[in-house]
Amino acid sequence: MTAAYVALEGGHVIEGRGRSPGTARGELVFTTAYSGYEESLTDPSYEEQVLTFSYPLIGNYGVREERFESDRIHPRAVIARELTDDVVEWLDSEDVPAVDHLDTRDVVTDVREEGAMKCGIAVGENATPDDALAELERCKAMSDHTEIGEQVSVAETTTHGADNDGETVALVDCGVKGSIIDSLVARDATVHVFPHDATAADVDAVDPDVLFISNGPGDPANYQAAVDLVSEFVEDTPVAGICLGQQIVARALGGTTEKMAFGHRGVNQPVLDLESGQVVMTTQNHGYTVADPGDHLEVTQINVNDDTPEGLDGTDYDVITRQYHPEANPGPEDTLDFFDDVLELATAETPPAVVADD
């Protein structure tokens, strides 16, 4: 059996079975999703993290490229109770270390009790616990990955749905999932995907009907260019955001964000809409949240488990954001109408100002 070691922050080392060789380091997190492992592994929001699957068997329906959310695997390493050969071959082909045959219940419990933590992994015929500890020693905190946007963003602007007749969306790519773009294009939008550090002049050149800030990995404090874009456009252009996008929009409008203990990752996160009283199930993947939305945003939806903000609407501007992933890849389709709401926001006429009688 190939040796495999996982060194946790604090020095505890767990031994497992090596499935894909190599060394890695990153923030140790877990997902509670039963399915959708292809979408999760190709989600850019897992950049610089080590992903643990709480569901015991990963790979039981194979690997199909049409389910991928990006062009590569993003977690630095993968941990599971049992990985099928199909998934192992895929991970190995992209040089992503993988470990199984360990008790993932213990790993998840550690993360829930101690919070997301640094870890180091070593897998190979000659791997040792010291190799994993050496990786742990070199591991950076997530907030210290100041250039993480560059790792997941397009380098140049791309256009999707160029022949569509609907709204023009300027999407700032902080690590966007492909299904978000597909959801907008399917609604007849033309989507221009900009790098994470695009300037106002870049975006203004396409005369957007909506400025859309995508999901992505890491600390929203490290996406100042996107924050500046929102500040520049919000008075004249509707603004929308998903996941990291919600946090960036909040920061641009005077709100604050904070790191969560272990985040929300999975396809069974319950969200309460405060106006309708309806609870929907959502797909989520984030380790930061909006702590205070500020004076220009109103919390419209909350997480049932911990009351963190899941939806924000503008009180002074045309803004709509969601902390979860409405595109439902993977996960339930309860919230797909978010994309309709975004595009309707772009076409809605601003009511005339009310002038008081003398």
Q: Is 114 a catalytic residue?
A: no
Length of the chain equals 358
Interatomic CA distance for residues 339 and 350, integer angstroms: 19
| 324 assigned ligand-binding residue | no
Single out the catalytic residue among 196, 286, 296, 325: 325
| DSSP-assigned states of every residue in 226-260 | HHHHHHHHTTTS-EEEETHHHHHHHHHTT-EEEEE
| 269 assigned ligand-binding residue | no
| DSSP-assigned states of every residue in 144-184 | G-TTHHHHHS-SS-EEE-TT--S-EEEEE-SS--HHHHHHH
Q: Is 113 exposed, middle or buried (0-12, 13-18, 19+ CB in 10 A)?
A: exposed
Interatomic CA distance for residues 149 and 162, integer angstroms: 26
| 45 assigned ligand-binding residue | yes
Q: Is 310 a catalytic residue?
A: no
| 254 assigned ligand-binding residue | no
| 301 assigned ligand-binding residue | no
Interatomic CA distance for residues 293 and 252, integer angstroms: 10
CB 111 within 8 A of CB 52: yes
| DSSP-assigned states of every residue in 52-118 | EESSSEE-TT---GGG-SSSS--SSEEE-SEE-HHHHHHHHHTT--EEESS-HHHHHHHHHHH-SEE
| 303 assigned ligand-binding residue | no
CB 311 within 8 A of CB 281: no
Interatomic CA distance for residues 210 and 203, integer angstroms: 10
Single out the catalytic residue among 74, 119, 243, 286: 243
Nearest alpha-carbon partner for 37 in 338, 347, 329, 335: 329
In sequence order, the 6+-apart residues with CB closer than 8 A to the CB of 144 are: none
Q: Is 119 a catalytic residue?
A: no
Catalytic residues: 243, 325, 327
Which residues define the annotated binding site?
A: 45, 216, 218, 244, 247, 285, 287-288
Which residues define the annotated binding site for L-glutamine?
A: 45, 216, 218, 244, 247, 285, 287-288
